[in-house]
Structures are given as structure tokens and as C-alpha cells.
Amino acid sequence: MQSSEEYHKRIFSALEQADKEVYELITKEYERWQNTLQLIAAENQCSMGVLAALGSVMQNKTAEGYPGARLHGGCEVVDEAEKLAVARAKEAFGAKYVNVQPHAGTTANQIVLTALLQSGDKILSLGLHQGGHFSHGSNVSFAGKYFDVENYYVDRQTFLLDYDVIREQATKFQPKLIICGASAYARTIDFKKFREIADEAGAYLLADISHLSGLVIAGAHPSPVDRAHFTTTSTYKPGGPRGGLIIMGKDYDQRISVGTESMALWQLIEKTTFPGMQGTPYFNNIAAKAVFFKETLCTEYRDRQFKIVENARRLAESLVDLGYDVLTGGTDNYMILVNVANFREGLTGIVAQKCLEDCGIVINMSRLPYDKKGPMVTSGMRLGTPIVTKNGMGSEEMESISTLVDVVLRRVEIIGDTEYRIDESFKDETRGRIKELCSKFPMC
């Protein structure tokens, strides 16, 4: 009999034999990742253990339902894997209930919304172009189609959430659900205040901590788990496999009436996940989540979350020193939002993204609150430090990164909103410098 180890070692050579094209694309992606600077805040880099679980035989199992209550046979092993993932995630977040089945962060939000709301019910959430996520009720997503959504905004001057204004809005609008959490907001979110506002308005509170969950696990950002009724997150942003989670704290067994039935909130989430919104969970993904949550329980992971924030603060500071307009003046998490239009006249987010990418620095443009430019142009860029920190970079490298970003953004010749020129020799030279910097911090 061949051992599991033998089998899995053959995976990569099997791919090379079966499909040279995809094998080469994977090799190219590895090289792109290794030889350029990864500063996209919405990305992270999982461990080899997580990758191995994703590429394992767990992927083959079909088993709808929950451990001990499946619709298919042969589930004794995947039941153990799911129970392990749940137990570790509960420990990581100090939670009463965790559902590890959602296929993505967006799906986790869809499940909570579908569980709680009837079509036409009211949601109050942060606007998409203010740092919110489209799954929070934007009219480009399913939620905007079925629910009555009103947005709150950040302050025009400070770019901070103003809880008094949100409170007033909630009192007037009387939403059934308030959503907090963001994709582009660099400061601490006060979940306690959000809960007070929700209680006053008679609303449920959903905290989407996709970008904060690693920091929350480590204690580097306050936890919403016992504040919000529901907490959701993607699992790749804190450094695990792709996928989503629904987490519940002290309100997990609060009763809710659904038609003529009464049930606990966690039961409603459970049945809305399956069979409400999904079929078979991805067991390779659930096994990978278990591996990831084991990692999060170690001090190495927890210490790193603080280091990620420290690096982000250093990078923000050094950009400010170079004359950049960093929104809110810095960051409390790993995200740095920069108004590039205020740095050089005519410079847009898309030109910054493209010319930096040409030179080996991978960031993304970001539509800023009250941005005059459209979503495909924008006036902003967003940088994040999880990956460079994972690969061992520290304060000195943050200085080098800001210098490199600055050299490129000063050098680029701006032709229009989306057009620019950058000379080839400068591009090659910068790429070379970045490759050399990255080679000292190999992917781990």
C-alpha cells in the first residue's frame, strides 16, 4: 500500500505530467510572488501546511449536513476534521459558536442577511465608496437588490466614523440590521458603540472583520465577538485558506421567531448555511481551516499580528515624511490609504497602481471617501503589510519600501487619468532592486 506521504508527494509531479500549461502558470505565479513586493492589503500568504491540506484527498468527500448529521455515508473522518476546525476557531476567537462551512467571506455575509431578513427589510451599512464591502448592501450585489439599504458615511474632514451621526441615522431609519466592518478603513472600529446604537434602534448587529480577524485573534484590535450578534470574516485575509466563517459570542442562543417557529440564533445560522445557501462544504478547505486555526493559537502567529501593525505604522509614517497624504494620518491596523492626487497633480490611483506594478511593487488603487474619480480610476492607493511581515521584513525594509514607492511615483510621466510613461531602463533597474530585496525574504 502506498502511504499518504507518497501519494501527496506525487501531486506536483502529477500536475506537471498531466498539464504542462497549468504547471508552468503555477511556477510563474510563484516567481511573480517571490520576485515582486506584495503589498495588497486584501491578500495574505498561507503556510505550506494549509496549502497541503487544500491539495489533499479531503477535496473528494461529498457530505451535506453537519458532523453526526450528514446525508451521505463515510463521514467519520471529515466529521473529525470539521469538529477540529470548529473547536480551534472557537478557541481562537473566544466564541460560543462557529460555522466553518461558508465558502467565502461574501457567502458568510449572504448567509447572515438571508437568515435574518425578509425581502424589503432595512439595512444600515457603510457605503461601498466609503470603505464598505459590496456584500454589505451595495446595489451592485444581491443585497442591494432584495433589501432596503441606507448607508452611513465617514466624516468629510477627518475620514473617521462619527458615531453620533450614525446613531442619529439609525434612530431615524430603524434598520433591522446594522453592519459594521470595512474593506478600507485604517482606524480602530468601536464595536461597543455600534452595539449601543443597534440596541437603541432595535437592530441586530453584524460585524464583518475580514480585514481585522488576525488582529482580533491576537488582541491587536478589540474583538466584536461578544458585542455583535454575528461576526463574519474571510479566512484568507488573516492568513488561512480562502473561505468564510460565521462566529457568535454571548448572543448565540438568543431566541428568534421564524414564521411560527422559535429557535436560537445559532440554529438559524446553521440551517441557513445548509441547506439554505450551500450544499456540500469543501472539506479540503475545512481541513485547511483547522490547520490555520492551530497556527493562530501559537505565539508566533500572535506576535506577528502586532508586528504587522507596527510595520504598517512605520510605513505610513515614512510616507508622511516623504510628503504623502495618508488618510487619517496613519493606521491602527495593517492598511494604509493614500491620496495620490494630493501628492502629484494629475496622478490617479490606477496610474499609481500600474506604474508601481511595472516596477515590481504590487498594490491596489482604492476609491477614497468623497473621491472625485470613478471606481476604475480613483484618487487613492491602499497598501498592506501582512505578507512582507510574514516573510520577515521589519522597520528597515518599511523605509526601503516607502523610498522605492516614492522614487517611482515621482519619476512616472503622467499623460492622462489612465495613461503614463515610464522609461525602460528605470523600470528594469527598480525591478532589479526589488528582486534583490525580496530575495532576502523568501516566501515561508
Ligand X SMILES: *Cc1c(COP(=O)(O)O)cnc(C)c1O
Return the number of the residue (182 or 308) whose C-beta is nearest ligand X: 182
Return the number of the residue (159 or 441) whose C-beta is nearest ligand X: 159
Q: Phi/psi at 183 (nearest 5 deg)?
A: -100, -20
Residue 237 Cβ vs ligand X, minimum distance, rounded to whole Å: 6
Return the number of the residue (63 or 245) whose C-beta is nearest ligand X: 245
Return the number of the residue (143 or 182) whose C-beta is nearest ligand X: 182
Q: At what angle do helices 395-411 and 299-321 cross, to 10 degrees?
A: 40
Instruction: Report the distance separating Cα 315 and Cα 384, nearest Å.
Output: 9
- Measured from each CB, the residue nearest to ligand X is 105
Give the strand order in the sheet containing 335-339.
Answer: 325-326, 335-339, 380-384, 364-366
Residue 267 Cβ vs ligand X, minimum distance, rounded to whole Å: 24
How many residues would you count in the chain? Answer: 444
**Residue type present at position 284:** N
The binding site for ligand X (CB under 6 A) comprises: 42, 104-106, 133, 135, 181-183, 208, 210-211, 234, 237, 244
Return the number of the residue (105 or 175) whose C-beta is nearest ligand X: 105
Return the number of the residue (137 or 360) whose C-beta is nearest ligand X: 137
Residue 103 Cβ vs ligand X, minimum distance, rounded to whole Å: 8
Q: What is the dihedral of CA 14, 19, 23, 29, to 10 degrees?
A: -140
Residue 30 Cβ vs ligand X, minimum distance, rounded to whole Å: 22
Residue 109 Cβ vs ligand X, minimum distance, rounded to whole Å: 6
CB-neighbour burial class of residue 387 (10 A; exposed 0-12, middle 13-18, buried 19+): buried
Q: 170 near 198, Cβ under 8 Å?
A: yes
Residue 213 Cβ vs ligand X, minimum distance, rounded to whole Å: 10
Residue among 244, 235, 230 nearest 278 (CA): 244
- Supply the DSSP string of 412-444, one letter for each residue: PEE-SSS-EE--HHHHHHHHHHHHHHHHTS---
Return the number of the residue (318 or 385) whose C-beta is nearest ligand X: 385
Residue 208 Cβ vs ligand X, minimum distance, rounded to whole Å: 4
